[in-house]
Chain A
């Protein structure tokens, strides 16, 4: 189990416990916590409805692959620290990370 903080549209942060041994990705974990993200494509990294930005931490995250970069590149509001939550495995790399849910702003 690791902890992350999730910032909502109001700038409020909430601490979440992330289960690391179930083979989930961060999009699935956020949905499990009932965040209102669409996750239209179900985790293929194609729809960008689980767009997040990493505000703090996450130094150990794997770099974006071509597929993720392609999808992010098509977005109007992507930032250098943007990620697709569905492309991040829930593992120890996430520990201490602070993220903002960009996709919520779009809904």
Chain B
């Protein structure tokens, strides 16, 4: 079990900066994020885009802002659990919380901060008959352990970079790789697309264009897959695995079950300290809502500062909080 003062759900810009504001008050943080990397939307959706409204950092590139935030919080040594989704929050008798993820990670903390943006990024699922039935029985939405596909038949679907990259990678591992794509060209990185056509030309992979996977079959485990062409022709081929790769989309997910006040997929907070209707649980950044709310990174930063001052009383119930400036006191690392 991981023990910390504050557990922050979401490692986007606001969750990261919250570590800094907590650190100034000598509170330690652990962050959990469903994505395998920090940065949230900045990493997943627009890493190369400039952001013009970060005070003092005009036109900063999104991934640079994430890098800078990591430097800014380094001294406070936050812990990270990445690639896992928080499933439950359990209040303990002393008021503290136990936070559990879908992979079994357990964090004990005094305060929970939800900085989850629009929720957790979940894979987009194509409309394929029996897709969910075969999840864990041959259907995968990401490649976690490529070795599991050694000497197996694998069908991938998608037209983006990840579909191309995994097709190339698995071509050397799996006994047979088939890539199914709706279009007849690929818009991913030209080098990758060229390589895929080359592998198909050499007969190392099967490329099925202008087609979509329509249904899955098998008795308990995936055995075959049906592919329908744009001309309505249906082909059924044997396979052990199906990997649809259609990117990620944010979902509110388990947050909806935590008895928090929610309005239009956002958590209602009190603007005095960005607390939710449940004691010791706060919500900051795009995930919260209040009259006049603006979904801006800079507003999330402000909310983090205010919120940590309020959380102090739960972490240090016997101490009096005195407000200090970093220019006077500096930043005192842990």
**A-side interface mostly:** loop
In the assembly, what is the distance between CA of A58 and CA of B232, in Å? 27
Residues of A within 8 A of B127 (CB): 76-77
Q: Given contacts A40-B118, A46-B45, A78-B182, is CB(A106)–CB(B126) below 8 Å?
A: no
**1/0 contact trace for A93-107 toward B, CB 8 Å?**
000000000000010
B249 at the interface (CB under 8 A from A): yes
Q: Are A106 and B46 in contact (CB under 8 A)?
A: no
B130 at the interface (CB under 8 A from A): no
In the assembly, what is the distance between CA of A66 and CA of B124, in Å? 21
Q: Are A41 and B45 in contact (CB under 8 A)?
A: yes
Query: Could you tell me which residues of chain B, from 240 to 269, have a CB within 8 Å of some CB in chain A?
Result: 244, 246-247, 249-250, 264-265
A59 at the interface (CB under 8 A from B): no
Q: Are B247 and A40 in contact (CB under 8 A)?
A: no
Q: Given contacts A38-B118, A40-B250, A48-B247, is CB(A77)–CB(B126) below 8 Å?
A: yes
In the assembly, what is the distance between CA of A44 and CA of B46, in Å? 9
Q: Are B160 and A73 in contact (CB under 8 A)?
A: yes
Number of A-B contacts (CB under 8 A): 55
Contact residue among A49, A66, A76 (Cβ-Cβ distance under 8 Å from B126) = A76
B158 at the interface (CB under 8 A from A): yes
Q: Please give the distance in Å from B50's CB to the nearest CB on chain A.
A: 11
B3 at the interface (CB under 8 A from A): no
Q: Are A75 and B246 in contact (CB under 8 A)?
A: yes
Q: Please give the distance in Å from A50's CB to the nearest CB on chain B.
A: 12
B187 at the interface (CB under 8 A from A): yes
- Give the number of chain A interface residues (Cβ < 8 Å): 20
Q: Please give the distance in Å from A30's CB to the nearest CB on chain B.
A: 14
Q: Given contacts A41-B46, A46-B46, A75-B124, is CB(A36)–CB(B160) below 8 Å?
A: no
**1/0 contact trace for B257-289 toward A, CB 8 Å?**
000000011000000000000000000000000
**1/0 contact trace for B39-68 toward A, CB 8 Å?**
001000110010000000000000000000
Q: Please give the distance in Å from B250's CB to the nearest CB on chain A.
A: 6
Can you identify 29 A-B contacts, CB atoms within 8 angstroms? A38-B118, A38-B250, A38-B265, A40-B45, A40-B249, A41-B41, A41-B45, A44-B46, A44-B49, A46-B49, A47-B45, A48-B247, A48-B249, A69-B187, A70-B187, A74-B159, A74-B246, A74-B247, A75-B247, A76-B124, A76-B125, A76-B126, A76-B127, A76-B157, A76-B158, A76-B244, A77-B127, A106-B124, A106-B249
